[in-house]
Structure 1
Amino acid sequence: MATRLSDLFSNSRLVIGLLANLLSSICIVFINKWIYVHYGFPNMTLTLIHFVVTWLGLWVCQKMDIFAPKSLQPTKIIWLALSFCGFVAFTNLSLQNNTIGTYQLAKAMTTPVIIGIQTMYYKKTFSTKIKLTLVPITLGVILNSYYDVRFSLLGVVFATLGVFVTSLYQVWVGAKQHELQVNSMQLLYYQAPMSSAFLLTLVPFFEPLSGEGGIFGPWSFPALAMVMLSGLIAFLVNLSIYWIIGNTSAVTYNMFGHFKFCITLIGGYVLFQDPLSLNQGVGILCTLTGILSYTHFKLAEQEEGKSRLVQRP
């Protein structure tokens, strides 16, 4: 009985974490897109605000004894901090330079790239069925991106960099939590300010600090309110990503991301009237076919693995 209650409590915590990530991830995409379209707020500055708000949120959490900070050597997390900068900055630049449909479809390539990284550098193995599902996913992303009426080489470059750096980041999040024996809050508490410092040195070289379009420019109250709301939601996104990957895996996190994929894709066309061609529709169907097949085979393999463990004497 005690074991069942423990399993139920553990599953309920996982469900809450997944729901928090689902809602916050969808909201952050639409709010950021709204900020770019209607206010023209600078991308890297918005990313910096996200980092600072994330660290402040964690500082409040540790003051409330929600978690206890653990001393970590900066050299142990420097690459994670840099990849965090790239992850947020490139995905925001992809969102800024692509339609939401293309942006979201490009993110579907994260799963194949993670599988490639884990196969080459972490010696993990994946079944042939799983590998074959990557074909329609990749084909669908290429079709949609190529026939996007807002197709631009710059948008494709940012989307590609975003996928690669995001994949590295997600793999390293799980690896570092295991290596350093820390939970999601403890790791993010040290990594967020380090990422903020890296980005702070770059912002003045790429974006104005004052005047039109600068962080100290004449922004309206609604614009500043939306930016702060975006920062608060980014805190929830960052924290839930760490928590989910730390308690499951990077691949499982991306499986869950497929639900966000569908909802965000539909929302982009409804809220921002992003145009959709026939070839893009075919690309979306290809990607969805690969995603659903991947999810089906992955869940089947997990159930088979559990059955083997139960049957062992």
Structure 2
Amino acid sequence: MRSSHADRRRTTAAILLNIGSSVGIVMVNKLVFEVHAFNFATFVTVIHFCCTWIGLVVCARLGAFEPKPVAWRRMLGLCASFCGFVVLTNLSLQYNSVGFYQMAKVLTTPAVALIQFLFYGKTFARPTIISLAVICLGVGIANVTDVQMNFVGTVYALAGVVVTSLYQVWIGSEQKALQLLPPQLLYRQAPMSALMLLPCVFLLDDVPALMRYELTFGALCSILLSGVLAFLVNWSIFAVIGRTSAITYNVVGHAKLCLIIVGGFILFSYPLDWRNLGGIFIALVGIYLYSKVKLAESAAAKSSASSASKP
């Protein structure tokens, strides 16, 4: 019983850490890109993974976890899917309107569910499916302001959905298959992902402009803060998926999107109309329903285990 309560507290802490750090990094990145004009998104992602690895090295030295050896070939798929997710997300944003880009991201939740059903044999109860549909509808309404499609942009967007979904599913499956704690798996992935992503900087970022950029103290502090938050985001992503599932992580992600919209309105005076408010309300209803379903499933599983243990 104590172990169950401790696991629940750790899971809740991981979810709260993920929400707080994810919302924080979006706001800090807005400072990096808009205020300091450091518009090199792929290079910033490389910095994020370098900061993540440095943070993990420090944590390992302090005894927070013990690194375990993993064959580099075993990490290739996970690292490649991450790099593909970053590249395709940037290309989707480049070739599509913001509205279509956000709508495509909403498709990640049903895509994750479909991959788990087809390749892992996982089924979902009707209340779970209904709650996920409500969440996706709400997030779609809250985020879609202009939807303009073109063939190239649509291909990039759909490919990004598939690769992102595979990445999220593989995080959970690889942790279980390799019997690794979240920081142990991330410790092996972070430096390899940074190296694999580095060549993409020359394809996606304006390297001559990057070389000419005059780094101010304020910009340096913002970039370093973004790196620290990225360490917390990456750790919590692996922790949330490892302790729950890729579907639950997507639900948490939709909650973050709603908070980011509200945060943008409060901090950056971004417009907020009835569609945003209505979509956020619908999404929150769906998140409440999903939480209620998960609590009921947890209580039923606990009751079943208790009955099975009785003589």
Same fold (TM > 0.5): yes
Q: What is the distance in 2 between the residues matched to 1:120 and 1:69? A: 33
Q: What is the distance in 1 between the residues matched to 2:204 and 2:91? A: 13
**Residue matched to 2:298:** 302
46-55 or 67-76, larger mean C-alpha shift: 67-76
Show structure 2 runs of 5+ residues with no match: none
**Residue matched to 1:229:** 225
Following superposition, the deviation at residue 308 of structure 1 comes to: 2.4
The yes-or-no answer on 1:200 pairing with 2:198 is: yes
1:191-243 alpha-carbon deviations (Å, 9 max, x no partner): 11111111111211222333x3x155223221222111101110111011112
**Residue matched to 2:14:** 17
2:259 to 233, 239, 263: 263
Alpha carbons of 1:283 and 1:65: their partners in 2 closer, same or farther (altered >3 Å)? closer
Alpha carbons of 1:78 and 1:203: their partners in 2 closer, same or farther (altered >3 Å)? same
The yes-or-no answer on 1:120 pairing with 2:113 is: no
The yes-or-no answer on 1:81 pairing with 2:75 is: no
Alpha carbons of 1:241 and 1:120: their partners in 2 closer, same or farther (altered >3 Å)? same
Contact persistence 1:43–1:93 (CA under 8 A): no
Structure 2 counterpart of 1:252, one-letter code? T
2:32 to 16, 35, 42: 35
1:24-62 alpha-carbon deviations (Å, 9 max, x no partner): 111011111232222242111111111111111112222
The yes-or-no answer on 1:66 pairing with 2:64 is: yes
Q: What is the RMSD of the two structures over their aligned residues, measured on CA atoms?
A: 3.1
Following superposition, the deviation at residue 128 of structure 1 comes to: 1.8
**Residue matched to 1:238:** 234
Structure 2 counterpart of 1:16, one-letter code? A
Contact persistence 2:97–2:149 (CA under 8 A): no
Alpha carbons of 1:304 and 1:134: their partners in 2 closer, same or farther (altered >3 Å)? same
Identity rate of aligned residues, in percent?
Answer: 42
Alignment TM-score, normalising by the size of structure 2: 0.83
Alignment TM-score, normalising by the size of structure 1: 0.82
**Residue matched to 2:188:** 190
Q: What is the distance in 1 between the residues matched to 2:303 and 2:93? A: 42
Alpha carbons of 1:203 and 1:65: their partners in 2 closer, same or farther (altered >3 Å)? same
Q: What is the distance in 2 between the residues matched to 1:204 and 1:187? A: 28
How many correspondences in the alignment? 305
Q: What is the distance in 1 between the residues matched to 2:251 and 2:141? A: 22
Structure 2 counterpart of 1:74, one-letter code? W
Question: 3-state DSSP class of the match of 1:178?
Answer: helix
Structure 1 counterpart of 2:292, one-letter code? H
Q: What is the distance in 1 between the residues matched to 2:238 and 2:229? A: 15
Question: 3-state DSSP class of the match of 1:34?
Answer: helix
1:82-120 alpha-carbon deviations (Å, 9 max, x no partner): 222244555577789876x98777655433222111111
Question: 3-state DSSP class of the match of 2:207?
Answer: coil
**Residue matched to 2:271:** 275
